[in-house]
Amino acid sequence: MTPAQPGTASGGIGDPRFFARSGPHPLATIAAAAAATVASDGERLFAGVAPLQNAGPDEVSFLDNRRYAEALAATRAGAVIVHPDLAARAPAGCIALVTAEPYLGWARVAALFHPLPPVEPGIHPSAWVAPEATIDASAEIGPGACVEAGAEIGPRCRVGPHAVIGAGVVLGADCRIGAAVTITHALLGARVVVHAGARIGQAGFGFATDPRGPDGLPRFLPVPQLGRVLIGDDADIGANTTIDRGSAQDTVIGPGSRLDNLVQIGHNVRLGRCCVVVAQAGISGSTELGDFAVIAAQAGLTGHLRIGARARIGAQAGVMADVAEGQDVVGSPAMPVRSFFRQVAILRRLAERRPKEGTS
């Protein structure tokens, strides 16, 4: 069988082999989902969504970046979600769905056409569930999954294939746990998504050094990690991310926070509401992030820091000191953005300066 090519009906956005599809939907329903205004026939039907360059007359697209304004002028899309400043650039035959937040509108419209697959209640015959576990009748437990004693699985949860829900773990309503996830020592709120391969609740990196081991050499003694992981409502945990349980306190992931793939969260770390931590970033033990803080890719934070609300840490930054509320820092060691680029400019001028005649 020849693989479908990108942009074709069977291989483009929303390939039906992988993504559920709903519709067609009338324009009025689409506009309502996007929180957009439209001056056109609300009964016209649309079959799906697609990017500007691939969309056809029965599909909805969007524009959120002025750099792609030329693509808007050339699009064949039947409707486009667009900011008021760009609405006039929609070509003839393309209906402008006007909203101040086009990307947010696009997210909602794409979810309208491609909703999450429904939970299929029941426990797969190959799953193992301890008699002492509590599983809501509306939950789905996938093939090979393991639910240990005392665990509680809430209404409409989905536990994917070969996932392990450890003893005493609680999943709130509508949680979605991906394949091969392991969760121990953790309490999850409602609508938490944990993607494939994530590890939550394992022991943190805590040890004491005994200078006099049995062979006369220093040795490391593990410190019991006696805390939990608490994950707030609507958090999203990326694939292969690890979140250590607390040592003497709890590790906390605030409501609405988003952790990308391959993120490491150390013991006792506390994230506020709606924090964002991007791929391969690492946060050492007992560091606290204020609400809406952002940690970019591959940044590293040492332990016991305080990162203020709405602070932003640049990619590959090495953060070794507290960051004030609303401050942006970059570099290693991290420093305020303006200071960093001032130093870069000075170094560039020094490097480009030519020696004076007669000097070496």
Nearest alpha carbon to residue 189 among 252, 234, 139 = 234
Q: Which residues pair with 159 in a beta bridge?
A: 141, 177
208 membership: H or E segment, kind and range:
strand 207-210
The 3-state DSSP class for residue 323 equals strand
Please list, in sequence order, all residues whose beta carbon lies within 8 angstroms of the beta carbon of residue 75, skipping any fewer than 6 positions away: 52, 53, 55, 61, 91, 94
How far is residue 214's CA from residue 177's CA, in Å, rounded to a whole number?
A: 44
Asked if residues 304 and 285 have their Cβ atoms less than 8 Å apart, the reply is yes
The 3-state DSSP class for residue 243 equals strand
Q: Is 267 a catalytic residue?
A: yes
Among 25, 83, 162, 267, which one carries the catalytic annotation?
A: 267
Asked if residues 20 and 116 have their Cβ atoms less than 8 Å apart, the reply is yes
How far is residue 164's CA from residue 175's CA, in Å, rounded to a whole number?
A: 14
Nearest alpha carbon to residue 202 among 150, 125, 267, 155 = 267
Catalytic residues: 267
